[in-house]
Structure 1
Amino acid sequence: MDRLETRELEYFLAVAEELHFGRAASRLMIAQPALSKAIRQLEQRLGVRLLERSSRHVSLTPAGEVLLSDGRHALDVVMAAARHARQAGRPDARLRLVVKPGGDGGLLPDILAEYEREPDAPAVEVLFGGVADRANLLHDGRADVALLHTPHENVHGLEARTLMIEKRVAVLPDRHPLARRATLRVADLQGETLPRWHGGAADGATGPEVADMTQLAQLVALGRTIAVLPRSVAEPFGPDLVRVPVADAIPSTLVVAWPPASPVRHVATFVRVATTVAARRQHMSRTPTAADS
């Protein structure tokens, strides 16, 4: 009686996320009456009402809220299992790494070079994910390991190990009134326009929506927004943009993350190599050179 089919979960999740039977039916590419019937049958089998509906409004009941949360996780696990099985059965199996373009703190070339020297290490397929989907790629099995920035990216439900901690800088057009300051504080940026990342939480930002760093750099140069970024992410921007340290901004932590109990071989090897490379880089940055003497 309590067993759920993946098709039923997909139907319910579509309605729960859209809160509209017509939009959910279009998303699922099925007829609306068939979707309504499937949801009624699901409620009858579970013995609880999942949705409150009227001719103009759909909302979740407390039971529906629980099934939305647990059901999404369950469906992700099923999808991940299928993807892991297909990946493991491929003769050319690869380790799939997802990273933000320019978001590796400069560590990735050394990580890949050292990892590829490991015995029997499969090739690494590098995927570039958007701000809202890098962690999701791990959860649903489309990627095996990721480089993520916390606290901006949520690593809830993932294993993670810190690689480096960076201070953040404000990225400003060179004509901005704050561009000549040696340092800034968060309070100095009150009232400034901040970008909204495509697919991500707004976090109070009211500026233009951006999808990648190239677009962000162009909008900053045009004076349409400013940005507060980890120092290594901001470094590749052109000379027409100014980077000013924000002294009291929450630091950005670069982590290597992976799904718990991942069945994919060599994830542990990649994590070990990544942490070794990061520790070596940190040690070198702290070691005085002859020029410092």
Structure 2
Amino acid sequence: MDRPEVRDLVYFVAVAEHRHFGRAAEKLGIAQPPLSRAISRLERRMGVRLFERTSRRVDLTPAGEVFLRESSRVLDALDGAVSRTQRAARPRRLILAAPAGTDVGLLAEVLAAYRREAQAVHVEVLFTTEQGAAVRAGNADAAFMCSSDDLDALDSADLLDETPVALLPAAHPLAARTALTLPDLEADARYRAQPPPVGHDELLDRVALGELVVLTGASAARRLGASVVAVPVQGVPANRIVLAWPHNSRSDALAGFVATARAVAGAVRAG
């Protein structure tokens, strides 16, 4: 079978997202008949039906669901490759994605140590709640993340383990405890095992207002106000801070930054 072209994937994803040939054609800026013919030709070449078509609706077949996931990954990887190639033509620098609003203690130590290296390049920090997506899209060269985050298509280095803590409103009945367990937290309807994808300041505001009880890493406790309390949680594995970067990256500047981050984290653990 001939390999599908990038245009085939773009056409397929547009129809899959809109579930309508007319709307997909409008988004793509082409007429509907050529789009319909292109999808039919793709199905014939692959030997599988990707869509179930009716007079009212277009739905993905099970094979189409799989092809949508794989096509999206290919297109995302292509976009990332273009972005990284374009950046390679610019003056040397690294873009580092970091969680928005969280404690920057380790990040600051790593940056300070890296800047002292003879071969260091300029580092820009991109604060975002979607660090992994920024790296995969080519908008960042590396990212500080948690081991529980989506590390698909990324290589990573373990840095530090964080003690799990629960963030509670100061007036919460459990706020005065010296330690908690998961059953303690799960009894509260406001409890969430994973923080919502918001910045640290908004997260603390939601906890302080009594909307949320959440499990997070101990570094988050360094920026609490009087309205939020952090209580250690027993029986929960430590969350690991990792540095992640594109799989099989060959950037010398990135390799130097990773080595520095590992050295700094090792010194922190030893100290």
Structure 2 length-normalised TM? 0.88
| Partner amino acid, structure 2, of 1:181 | R
TM-aligned CA deviation for residue 96 of structure 1? 1.1
RMSD: 2.5
The 1-side partners of 2:29 and 2:229 are apart by 48
TM-aligned CA deviation for residue 169 of structure 1? 0.9
Q: Counterpart in 2 of 1:184?
A: 180
Q: 2:102 touches 2:200 (CA, 8 Å); kept in 1? A: no
Unaligned runs of 5+ in 2: none
Q: Counterpart in 1 of 2:223?
A: 236
Q: Which moved more, 1:77-86 or 1:142-151?
A: 77-86
TM-aligned CA deviation for residue 248 of structure 1? 1.8
TM-aligned CA deviation for residue 263 of structure 1? 3.4
| Partner amino acid, structure 2, of 1:14 | A
Q: Counterpart in 1 of 2:116?
A: 117
The 1-side partners of 2:51 and 2:42 are apart by 11
The 2-side partners of 1:255 and 1:144 are apart by 14
The 2-side partners of 1:217 and 1:25 are apart by 44
After superposition, the C-alpha distances for 1:110-156 in whole angstroms (9 at most, x for unaligned) are 111111122232211111222xx3212222322111111121x1112
The 1-side partners of 2:27 and 2:225 are apart by 41
The 1-side partners of 2:34 and 2:199 are apart by 39
The 1-side partners of 2:120 and 2:267 are apart by 21
After superposition, the C-alpha distances for 1:32-67 in whole angstroms (9 at most, x for unaligned) are 555444323322333321112223443322432332
The 1-side partners of 2:247 and 2:174 are apart by 44
Structure 1 length-normalised TM? 0.82
Unaligned runs of 5+ in 1: 196-202, 285-293
The 2-side partners of 1:279 and 1:183 are apart by 28
Relative distance call for 1:9 and 1:278 in structure 2 (3 A) is: same
Q: Counterpart in 2 of 1:259?
A: 246
Q: Counterpart in 1 of 2:127?
A: 128
Q: Counterpart in 2 of 1:222?
A: 209
Q: Counterpart in 2 of 1:140?
A: 137
- Three-state SS of the structure 2 residue aligned to 1:246 is strand
- Three-state SS of the structure 1 residue aligned to 2:263 is helix
Query: Share of identical aligned residues, percent?
Result: 42
TM-aligned CA deviation for residue 185 of structure 1? 0.6
TM-aligned CA deviation for residue 264 of structure 1? 2.9
Return the match for 2:167 from 158, 166, 171: 171
Correspondence 1:10 to 2:10: yes
Relative distance call for 1:237 and 1:15 in structure 2 (3 A) is: farther
Count of equivalent residues = 270
TM-aligned CA deviation for residue 15 of structure 1? 3.1
What pairs up with 1:266-277 in 2 under 5 angstroms? 266-277=253-264
Q: Counterpart in 1 of 2:53?
A: 53
Q: Counterpart in 1 of 2:64?
A: 64
Q: Quick check: which one's strand share is greater? A: 2
| Partner amino acid, structure 2, of 1:224 | E
Q: Which moved more, 1:3-12 or 1:162-171?
A: 3-12
- Three-state SS of the structure 2 residue aligned to 1:95 is strand
The 1-side partners of 2:169 and 2:61 are apart by 48
TM-aligned CA deviation for residue 98 of structure 1? 0.6
Correspondence 1:193 to 2:180: no
- Three-state SS of the structure 2 residue aligned to 1:235 is helix
Q: Which moved more, 1:173-182 or 1:49-58?
A: 49-58
